[in-house]
């Protein structure tokens, strides 16, 4: 936009954000790319080993996260958007964000629509790159700088009027835009409900998440056995965890239904919101063949975890919330081809035989 005035830049930015809201996003803002305000905290987090086995957060991945101008050379600004994935649906064994279609695909397509609109408005090709939880970016820092909300004590971005059950996405562009003021207020106050509620102690301090103890990490990213000391804390959670979101007063009050049909729960998760439903889902996963797994989770973010990992999780869940009726399938898992599943199944059988539940 050669010769663009502040007025035309402001108008373009306002219309761009209006387009984002029209596409179904719950919040939108603009930030200039550069060094994140949380760089020192990020480095301290890495130094403490809180990233667990997620090596992609280290080395070159860490270097790129220390300056958001690095991932996509030439980009100067980021349009940051947030989309609800349905925080009003009941809690269950699968985290809400994973019950529908893969958010990476759904939101990337929607952000590309925003790209197309921008190119039509400025009348030239725009050098862009969309990011949906897929690049070396400190996304919550960028969202806070774009004015969307603040990072709560549970390390989640909290958006006033929308809570924290939100996906974040961004569009890096080489177009001059009017930047939003950063959201500098901390509205958590003295509340520590999220820290107190975590069953595995993964929040040792406000805004510090120790992935080594986090149920989401243990059930999705972790490739080893779930540590014995943390298994009972996993409870009935098969994939991910919503606890620190669910207890947040801001989310309790302001969580929204999703505007995206693709994020609505699949039929597989329709009746899994009580103990019986959790047990039934765990048994179904344990009995899945690779073909069953591929069919059930086609186009789902749940495929981030391999079948044997889901079966490992299911053994732990049944060890925590199962009954004698689940012993047969657990005994069968003691012959599983994967050593970790065999060990977790043996633990679950022992739990049930001791009458621990």
Rounded to 5°, angle at Cα 36 from 301 and 204: 65
CA atoms of 56 and 35, how far apart (whole Å): 19
Taking the CA atoms of 246, 251, 256 and 258 in sequence, report the sign of the dihedral they define.
negative
Pairing of strands 128-131, 77-84: unpaired
Determine whether 83 is exposed, middle or buried from the number of CB atoms within 10 Å of its CB (0-12, 13-18, 19+).
Answer: buried
For residue 238, give the 3-state DSSP assignment: coil
Question: Which tokens is 98 given?
Answer: 């994973």
Contact predicate 244/153, CB 8 Å: no
Query: Given 67, 133, 174, 178, which residue is catalytic?
Result: 133
CA–CA dist 120, 210 (Å, integer): 44
Q: Cβ distance 177 to 16 under 8 Å?
A: yes
| Sign of torsion over alpha carbons 147, 153, 156, 161 | negative
3-class SS at 316?
A: helix
Q: How far apart are the first and last CA of the chain?
A: 66
C-alpha–C-alpha distance, residues 312 and 226, integer Å: 8
133 is catalytic: yes
Residues with a catalytic annotation lie at 133
């Amino acid at each position: 936009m050669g010769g663009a005035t502040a007025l035309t830049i402001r108008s373009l930015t306002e219309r761009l954000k209006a387009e984002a809201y029209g596409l179904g996003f719950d919040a939108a803002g603009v930030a200039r790319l550069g060094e994140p305000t949380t760089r020192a905290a990020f480095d301290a987090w890495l130094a403490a080993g809180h990233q667990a086995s997620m090596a992609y957060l280290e080395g070159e991945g860490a270097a790129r996260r220390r300056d958001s101008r690095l991932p996509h050379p030439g980009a100067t600004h980021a349009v940051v958007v947030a989309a609800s994935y349905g925080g009003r649906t009941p809690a269950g064994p699968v985290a809400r964000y994973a019950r529908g279609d893969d958010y990476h695909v759904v939101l990337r397509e929607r952000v590309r629509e925003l790209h197309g609109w921008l190119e039509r408005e400025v009348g030239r090709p725009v050098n862009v790159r969309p990011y949906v939880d897929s690049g070396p970016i400190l996304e919550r820092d960028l969202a806070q700088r774009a004015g969307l909300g603040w990072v709560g004590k549970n390390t989640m971005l909290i958006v006033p009027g929308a809570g924290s059950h939100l996906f974040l996405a961004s569009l890096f562009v080489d177009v001059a835009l009017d930047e939003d003021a950063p959201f500098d207020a901390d509205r958590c106050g003295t509340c520590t409900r999220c820290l107190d509620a975590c069953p595995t102690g993964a929040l040792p301090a406000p805004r510090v998440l120790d992935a080594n103890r986090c149920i989401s990490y243990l059930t999705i990213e972790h490739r080893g056995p779930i540590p014995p000391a943390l298994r009972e804390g996993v409870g009935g959670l098969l994939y991910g965890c919503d606890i620190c979101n669910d207890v947040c007063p801001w989310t309790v009050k302001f969580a929204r239904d999703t505007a995206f049909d693709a994020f609505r729960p699949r039929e597989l998760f329709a009746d899994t919101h009580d103990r019986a439903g959790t047990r039934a889902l765990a048994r179904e996963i344990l009995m899945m063949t690779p073909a069953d797994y591929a069919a059930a989770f086609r186009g789902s973010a749940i495929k981030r975890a391999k079948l044997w990992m889901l079966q490992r999780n299911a053994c732990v869940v049944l060890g925590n919330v199962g009954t004698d009726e689940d012993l047969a399938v657990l005994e069968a898992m003691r012959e599983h081809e994967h050593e970790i599943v065999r060990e977790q199944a043996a633990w679950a059988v022992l739990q049930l035989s001791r009458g621990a539940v």
